[in-house]
Structure 1
């Protein structure tokens, strides 16, 4: 039997989301890509408690909520499949990435078992996607990432970081700085109050081989038809000459949605 020609993309959800929620939010894009792209959604290792969520909200803004983070379905006391998760936990000053090493090792094991063309992350997942992309460029800076002394996976062909940022910690600095060169598409929202431009620049400024695309909405992955078509074309040919998504018609709302029914 011939091998599948689909490109395999590792999908990393945002803070307080989980793989099931992110998969649902990306449903329109998944449908658009069909069999061309195989999306592999992964749960972050850390289940978040109400205390963790409250700490994160205080560290972002006084008005933050699960809705703001694009995770209003997440709940800590009902369906386990909807429990909010994170790639790491944060303190109020955002100077500690507690549990980040566990997430790196989880992704090391996933990458070691299969081949992925690229990685796609949203919010904290975008930071994690960029971090893994950078780490695959110089895996020796974090020796536990190695498998039998070798990288678990070749460097990725591309990274998509939607509403991404550079986390602050000594480990992250050793991986990211002075820069990383994996071709990276940065998708940013002009009205994003969670990932404001100043914060997103902490990642784009160290991304050497970058492409930045802005949408008119907030903290979500845009999925109007023009963005679905753009992302599909980019995922199929990330190094090609893919035109920017056309502006939305004036008769349509400025902000997009990640699924037909709910904001992402």
Structure 2
């Protein structure tokens, strides 16, 4: 899913959806953020994960809303990896890494529908440098995994920033069976990558300690932004503006001010919180 081509862009930001979502669902849930980013002069490209989830991979229908997903019958649910035994141990992300590589070098875009044919990105858009990643939940975890070595992994320019909503560091201990990914988190000596970690105080899908797991190893180049809701991307003006201002900032990360007296900034945020509290 792509944004309008009615302007000249200075770079691209890739949006990576969460577990049991797809590009179209994530596109719909990040409309306010996307519109502000486009005004900054960036193209927003939403990508689909290559793994199609089967019914046995999904939580119960009543729980899909916890993941920011949909319980409609015609939705193709996707993931950046498939959980084995409902855990994140012993997983395989090779297909996700390869699909991102094909997008970068061939402009191949996976459709939402598992039976659909991949499309090709416009040649002019393909030339735009990828400056950042925006990920949610499992998509944020995948973004955090490939961020440091993005240039090396994909033979392209290094990223400038990543924005991780409800993200977490993958357990890469030998016991977890994910140790082959441990080196991905090692930061090159010349890295100038910046991180913004955003998480909800009422998130019960990715708890605070998990959201802080990646922050704890990137503190010197990270900012934290908390919101008072659950497992979703906050759409209120207060939090959108802070994220957009952070993208525009240069140099070392600066502390983001939390407006405690104004937890809920507008009616959209209030409605979103009411819809998610009790589900997440």
Q: TM-score range by the shorter chain?
A: 0.7 to 0.9
Q: Aligned match of 1:39 in 44, 51, 54?
A: 44
| 2:129 paired with 1:125 | no
Q: Aligned match of 1:221 in 211, 214, 233?
A: 233
Aligned to 1:165: 168
Q: Secondary structure at the match of 1:8?
A: strand
Matches within 5 A, 1:7-156: 7-36=11-40, 37-54=42-59, 65-71=63-69, 73-75=70-72, 77-78=73-74, 82-91=75-84, 92-98=86-92, 100-112=93-105, 114=126, 115-136=129-150, 139=152, 145=153, 151-156=154-159
Range that drifts further, 40-49 or 180-189: 180-189
Whether the 8 Å CA contact 2:236–2:265 is kept in 1: the answer is: no
Alpha-carbon distance, 1:33 to partner: 3.5
Range that drifts further, 32-41 or 243-252: 243-252
TM-score after normalising by structure 2: 0.73
Gapped runs of 5+ residues in structure 1? 58-62, 140-144, 146-150
Whether the 8 Å CA contact 2:235–2:268 is kept in 1: the answer is: no
RMSD across aligned C-alpha pairs, in angstroms?
Answer: 3.3
Inter-partner Cα distance in structure 1 for 2:132 and 2:270? 23
| Distance change >3 Å, CA 257–CA 123, structure 1 → 2 | farther
Inter-partner Cα distance in structure 2 for 1:132 and 1:176? 8
| Distance change >3 Å, CA 253–CA 236, structure 1 → 2 | closer
| Distance change >3 Å, CA 38–CA 257, structure 1 → 2 | farther
Matched residue pairs, number?
A: 238
| Distance change >3 Å, CA 51–CA 178, structure 1 → 2 | same
TM-score after normalising by structure 1: 0.77
Inter-partner Cα distance in structure 2 for 1:257 and 1:39? 26
Q: Aligned match of 2:212 in 201, 208, 212?
A: 201
